[in-house]
A = this chain, B = another copy of it.
């Protein structure tokens, strides 16, 4: 007989009567009711054991976390809370779970405790829902780009370039760490290293993605990126996944259209495909927020928030307009902002972004045309000579979700910018080549995947939306 998954058994179109299922015991109560889960759905299936016909020794081994193989009949449930249940005919314990030592007890655990047991935390409803959503979002992203004529590109993880400028980097080396070979001047001789030069973990695949956009037209990356910054916060990881589309012949307006359509599309995908998990996480969040003062609770429920973003037009506002709004805002005048906005040119902080999104516009906002000197070297200079065609998309509750720009396609302007910032042309000769041979307007953006997963799942700590988080002083598992 084919083994069924719990999701199959609970689906409405199930026709089976005699069934087999394998999974893990979540709870066992009254020596009779097993709540069984196999990861295929947030829901458990109730398996009713006839304790009179089951050996005492077996009953004792039906404990939380045990792996079991059940054969039985799928019947309409007599009890409340489920449509169907399994009348168990035979149960085999595949793997025991000592209730005295098993870390995942049938009770509420703190997220801190579960992080220390990250290898077992997907055995809880919360983390299984989060990781199913993470998977579903990944697929939605690939599906969106595939359907829209984009090619998926694997940009390199180990990079010999440190010109990306997005942050501190991790060195990758096979040299003897204690006694590295030295040059005559006493510096480390990286020519003897594996790659024949100093190499680091990438902070972004954008520059390489541009090379492919300028030949294949529309490409995207979806891969790991790294920051060696000592930021021990609930919003930073040393290793995280990023999505970076890059499109030839597309200007900044097209870039905004793409980002908005893309985000709405993937939100609609999970709203359609992950209803059960979202409902569970919505209830969890509601429960979590109950202890907060009313003012700190979310105005919308999790699903309402996702629908709100999916259904509403993103408000497009220039940086200059935003500065005006912020300068004249109550919290600025009353000096409630930590960083008071005094003049054009100020770098916006999270508090300002959240004010714009949550208080002023009350919808997702796309800010564009930022001052050149607070943005990266590769962004297209506007005709005003002081702003660049950059955009950031700000989401309620989370702030910046996407950062992108039209890229500087003019060789001489790019060269001047690099010179001013002391970026070595020899290092980016290939990037300059794109401007020498068949250059054209092109644009792209970056989306931090974990930020998106946090937004969709309502989880408050970025360590809880990636299987094995890498943070300062932590590379366990």
A201 and B216 contacting across the interface, CB-CB below 8 Å: no
A-B contact list, 6 entries, CB within 8 Å: A39-B216, A98-B437, A154-B224, A178-B187, A194-B473, A430-B476
Q: Which 9 A-B residue pairs are closest in the complex by CB-CB distance?
A: A95-B439, A39-B216, A39-B217, A160-B475, A135-B151, A195-B475, A196-B473, A119-B430, A122-B215
B197 and A475 contacting across the interface, CB-CB below 8 Å: yes
Q: Chain B interface: which of A71-79, A166-174, A333-341, A357-365?
A: A166-174
Closest to A435 in B: B95
Residue A434 at the chain B interface, CB threshold 8 Å: yes
Closest to A216 in B: B39
Interface residues on chain A, number (Cβ under 8 Å): 108
B151 and A132 contacting across the interface, CB-CB below 8 Å: yes
Closest to A182 in B: B178
**Complex: how many Å from CA A470 to CA B120?**
35
B153 and A472 contacting across the interface, CB-CB below 8 Å: no
Residue A468 at the chain B interface, CB threshold 8 Å: yes
Smallest beta-carbon distance A66→chain B, Å: 5
B477 and A437 contacting across the interface, CB-CB below 8 Å: no
B215 and A39 contacting across the interface, CB-CB below 8 Å: yes
Smallest beta-carbon distance A207→chain B, Å: 9
A153 and B440 contacting across the interface, CB-CB below 8 Å: no
**Complex: how many Å from CA A38 to CA B120?**
48
Contacts A196-B474, A212-B467, A238-B194; A177 near B173 (Cβ below 8 A): yes
Instruction: Identify which of residues 87-106 in chain A touch chain B, using a CB-to-CB cut-off of 8 Å.
Output: 94-98, 101-104
Closest to A142 in B: B142
CB contacts (< 8 Å) of A119 on chain B: these are 208, 211, 430-431, 433-434
Smallest beta-carbon distance A335→chain B, Å: 38
